[in-house]
Structure 1
Amino acid sequence: MQQNHYGRLGAVLSADLINLPEVGAASVHTLLEAHEIRRPEVEDLHVEGFRHWRDQLARAFRPDTPAEQCSAVNDLLVEATIRPWVTTHDGLQPHLHFVPDEADVLSRVKAVTAGGLAFVLCWEGGARLGRCRRPECSRAYVDTSRNGRRRYCSARCGNTEAVMRHRSRNAQPKS
């Protein structure tokens, strides 16, 4: 998958936020740290906002049609109030952000996730945003494979499903 860093980061962060078992200040902080989000401190007043945002993000990973997926991502872009912002906060090359650097953590996460999903949708196609096909799982994932044929959240889920299909075929009586 050929994609800019910002798009991939935002899309993968979206999936990981959707898959977070419990949205609390500590769990979101840990997730944001793992994704190297600067100033990841999450206050209790942001927790409900993160829960709401997680529910909004999930719509982009369960579309019935491409038009519905575009609508879901457009709704995210509107709610995130994205506008391009060039910054040199790290002293390196100027680079693009979607909100001012001094914005609160919830606003920054909204911007990076909505922008990332828009990049993936437009540059790679909506099929790169998916839900695990194993009925017992349904975790969100971003397909970063070269061929774009991923259908499970992990190799473990894919292997488990393959074993179940194999056992089901072999358990049928042969005539």
Structure 2
Amino acid sequence: MQLTFTDYTFGASVATALVLTAPEVLVATGDALTDGESLHAFLTEHGIAPGDRPATGTDLDDVRALRTRVRDVVAAPNEEAIVEGANQLLRVARTVPFLARHDGTWTWRLETAPESTLADDLAVVIGTGLLGTVASLGPSRFRSCESPSCNGIFVDTSRAGRRRFCMPQVCGNRVNVANFRARRRREQQDHPGTGPADAG
């Protein structure tokens, strides 16, 4: 399989997305990767061509195992451990890097061994993204979600580098709502008789 890389942030975003499919993150709904169809949908959603054959139960098991390994890399305690873990992801599929034209510009491509599995190819995408993030942005971009009720972790490749939540639209909103309610409770305790029911 040939994989095109125009930006390392692609692989880092796939790493985050894969980790966030796990049941320990999606406590309310459970594992997002339940069968070959959901795995195919995940790959398609994130711009990875799954290949000509449908994903099998073995592929699903392999990708779930990869998900655990990726989480361990993203949550690693230091820069050296992150790099070593990401390097191990790349070694699995025995990749060969080369340059080729893509949309009129030279881009890096990686070609995996013919016998590599779907999980091996996904590991290459993710490993490259994680190494690119460390080299370009540093290990501080590997973070745990700041929501107290979330077990998510993520790689922040944003320009500003201020991302705080693994799923901003979910965890961020949840924290904002909790903070708003806490402020309202404090205001009502400090100024009793000024709530909406007492207006007018």
TM-score range normalised by the length of the shorter chain: 0.7 to 0.9
**CA displacement at 1:165 relative to structure 2:** 4.4
Instruction: Point out the more displaced range, 32-41 or 145-154.
Output: 32-41
Residue deviations 1:15-64 (CA, integer Å, cap 9, x gap): 11111224332111101111221244422222221111111100122122
Of the candidates 53, 64, 74, which is equivalent to residue 77 of structure 2?
64
Corresponding residue number in structure 2 for 1:96: 108
Q: 1: distance between equivalents of 2:60 and 2:50?
A: 16
Q: In the TM superposition, what are the counterparts of 1:3-82 in structure 2 within 5 Å?
A: 5-20=6-21, 21-23=31-33, 24-40=35-51, 41-82=54-95
- Helix, strand or coil: the match of 2:85? helix
Which secondary structure does the structure 2 equivalent of 1:130 belong to?
A: strand
Structure 1 position 82, deviation (Å): 3.3
TM-score (norm 1): 0.78
Distance in 2 of aligned mates of 1:107 and 1:74: 13
CA distance in 2 between counterparts of 1:106 and 1:85 reads 21
Opposite residue 98 of structure 1, the aligned amino acid is: L
How large is the Cα RMSD of the aligned pairs?
2.8
Residue 78 of structure 1: CA displacement? 2.8
- The change in CA–CA distance for 1:113 and 1:95 in structure 2 (over 3 A counts) is same
Pair 1:133–1:11, CA change in 2 (3 A): same
Quick one: which amino acid aligns to residue 158 of structure 1? G
Structure 1 unaligned runs (5+)?
A: none
Which letter maps to 1:95? T
Larger radius of gyration: 2
- 1:96–1:104 distance in 2 versus 1, CA, 3 Å: farther
- Partner residue of 2:139 out of 110, 123, 126: 126
Give how far 1:155 is off.
4.1
Structure 1 partner of 2:197: none
The 2-side partners of 1:11 and 1:93 are apart by 22
- Counterpart residue identity of residue 116, structure 1: G
**Could you say which structure has the higher helix fraction?**
1
Amino acid at match of 1:77: L
Distance 2:105 2:158 in 1: 29
SS of 1:59 mapped into structure 2: helix
Distance apart, 1:116 and its partner CA = 1.0
Q: How many residues align?
A: 170
* Residue matched to 2:96: 83
Q: In structure 2, the residue corresponding to 1:84 is in which secondary structure?
A: strand
**Conservation of the 8 A alpha-carbon contact between 2:99 and 2:108:** yes
